Amino acid sequence: MTTTVLAAGDHFVLPRLLTRELRAAAPDGAVLDVRELRLPWPHTPFGPVAGVDEASGTEDELIEALSGVRICLTQLAPLTERVLTACPDLELFCVSRGGPVNADLDAATRHGVAVSYAPGRNAVATAEHTLALILAAARGIGDVHTGLKRAVWRGDYYDYDNCGIEIDGSVVGLIGFGAVGSRVGRVLAAMGAEILVHDPYVRPETVEGVAVLVPLDELLRRSRIVSLHARVTDETKGMVGAAEIAAMPPGSVLVNCARGALLDYDAVCDALDSRHLAGAGFDVFPAEPVPAGARLLSTPGVVLTPHIAGASREVAHKAARIVAEDAARYLRGEPLAHCANPRVLGK
């Protein structure tokens, strides 16, 4: 029997990557009819679509593309109640992201559609980008780069009060020690930093030999560099605000490559303006794209990147491979490795 598959990629996780990885992973003898659709992200920003978040494309184009399709591999296509109702042949929706936020899981479960995802796909890339921002913020690279591009030679960065700090011998605090935070911690420890971790979900033996688990107030009080790696929950939203930044030592550095909702950015700007913070590095923001008049764009001491920490060619290949392997498991009748709504599989 032929299985019809939709590879709904975009300009990052390309449709041909999804197709190639699926054909490589598919069980022997599987007959696949693979259709390809390219969604407009990142040339067109993602956003909410009919109740799901961070989606690309429209319900109408997906409904048309899913006609007769049993399995869909995608990164950002919107799986909504309307799409599910219009596409009764769909059985498996594979999202090549760390979480399937562009899929309505409750609706998928009601319609009997399994949703899988790709945890850890960008952990290495995000960890490396975090390290780049830590180093850039600690040494003021953002401001001196901007000055030099304008033919301004910032020799004043040799002034003692303007000099950056070294990783070796510094105390670095990591808020969160998952796939990204743990990689950052290991590299910084190898560079000579003392690593403190606050993460209520991590056991002491997990950090042994690399870091020490401490309460958040101790981490903030002792760390010259603080990097955020927590997930956004009701408990973590706004977890670092004016009071937490004030608790950090004068001249500290703050970095966030996790989620903008964790941090009060106005408080960051205040701390940079007063020079309580010596530097900061951000890849994520409360509103994306960053509005033209945002304070961050004119505040000194900040290194900014446009939410690209997870953008590497290796990530695109890993993402495609992870979901293709789960689709292959489904074709073989095996349990999915990363199912977001496992109740469906028991039916």
Residues acting as catalytic residues: 259, 288, 307
Tokens representing residue 308 in the block: 């690209």
Diameter of the chain by CA atoms? 73
| 43 φ/ψ angles, rounded to the nearest 5 degrees | -65, -30
First-to-final CA distance of the chain: 22
**28's tokens:** 């022997």
Amino acid at 315: V
Structure tokens at 150: 């304008």
Distance, in Å, from the CA atom of 85 to the CA atom of 20, rounded to the nearest integer, reads 29
Taking the C-alpha atoms of residue 119 and residue 319, their distance in angstroms, rounded to an integer, is 9
Closest CA to 327 of 2, 7, 22: 22
Strands (E) located in 183-309: 194-198, 211-213, 225-228, 252-256, 277-282, 302-304
